[in-house]
Structure 1
Amino acid sequence: MNISRIGGLVAGMLLLGAGTASAQEPITISPEKVEKICSQRVPRVETKVKALTDKINGTAETLGSKKWIEQRSADARKNGNTARADVLDAKLKLRDAQLVKLAKAGERIAKFKTEHCGSK
């Protein structure tokens, strides 16, 4: 058998394996682990999401906040350092994307909490 046939055979087997893996039943965890997740992990993740969101939405004095980055960018442009200002503007766009990710994470945690943790 030549290498191309072997490669095709391996690729075909991987595709078949991927198809059967996705058809498996969902993974379930024990009630004890769910309780541990609800009592320990969920509050930690909620705290981190809130802290990061508050930091990004902070004032111009908050290191790393959107307003802080905007101020540094404006200062760089005023001083004629357009390259630095462009880098800061790109970082500002990343902060907006991070806010979207944090909001989605908060929604997923809230959904998990209501579905599995009861009214805690």
Structure 2
Amino acid sequence: MRGSAAGHRVPVELSTLTRAPMPADVRGALVTPSHGRLMAAWMPLSGPSRVPQGRVLLSWTPAGEDRTNVTAHLGLAGAQVLLAIWPGLRGDWSGVVHPTVAEVTELHAALRLATVVLDRLAD
């Protein structure tokens, strides 16, 4: 279904979604690194507004003349924070955001693991 989130609720490669404007019924795409690629699924407006802990939500808007403004938010335990803004990207911009999304996601996973280990050692 074109222009709707219904077609991409199962993760697909991010570059599949970035070829078109975001559908009107989504907040953005939840992104997860997987085997060197970024996999994404739409986050519908009708669902929870909070980005899940450790996940990155990308949203994008047209910026004129084949350019796109991209924003990333990171879900943390107590909040959702602005991670990055990429103004005026051209073409398939998924490769531009890939390093930031992958590194932040991996860092968050490492910090969560370290926290669990420290909590168990303290008990």
- State if a TM-score over 0.5 links the two structures: no
For normalisation by structure 1, the TM-score amounts to 0.28
Could you say which structure has the higher strand fraction?
A: 2
Could you say which structure has the higher helix fraction?
A: 1
For normalisation by structure 2, the TM-score amounts to 0.28
